[in-house]
Amino acid sequence: MSSFAFLEPEAAFQLSRDFDFEGYIDVERELWAFFPETAGKRVNYCQVGLSARLYAEMPDDRMPLQPDETYFLMPCEDQTLRPVRMKSERILTLEEFRMSHLTSMRMMHKLRGIGPLMDEVHRKVLGPEIVAEIAQQF
């Protein structure tokens, strides 16, 4: 595993049986219309400071991450939340970011109810030592 990835690429977290993957992916596909250069690949974007980068899925060869690559934890067709390796396509304009954000809000609506699962993921990433330290502090 890359020292820059917070989870193993094969990590998987089971989504609830009632998670509507088709509804979720339909909303994600709207981003394809905004960003045709993603050519039907899984797509995401990430705000970094006061800019944002567009990412598109790439084959995961398990080689170390390059500076323009990352993993996004995304719902998958097998009803799991898994790391998907993505490569930065480009920086978004402010207008593109605003337009994408509206779609992302609809995606977040589709993800409601996975809060406890995300808590599990965060505890795994932080590790028991840090979680214990946090528990002692608060």
Half-sphere exposure of 8 toward its Cβ, with a 13 Å CA cutoff? 5
Mean pLDDT computed over 67-94: 96
The set of residues, in sequence order, having a beta carbon less than 8 Å from that of 101 and lying 6+ positions away, is: none
Q: Write the pLDDT tens digit of every residue in 14-49.
A: 999 999 999 999 999 988 889 999 988 999 999 999
Task: Please check the confidence at residue 138 and state whether its pLDDT lies above 90.
Answer: no
CA dihedral 73, 45, 25, 37 (to 10 degrees): -130
What tens digit of pLDDT does each residue of 97-137 get?
999 989 999 999 999 889 899 999 999 999 988 888 888 88
pTM of the model as a whole: 0.89
Instruction: For residue 101, give the nearest of 20, 44, 18 by alpha carbon.
Output: 44
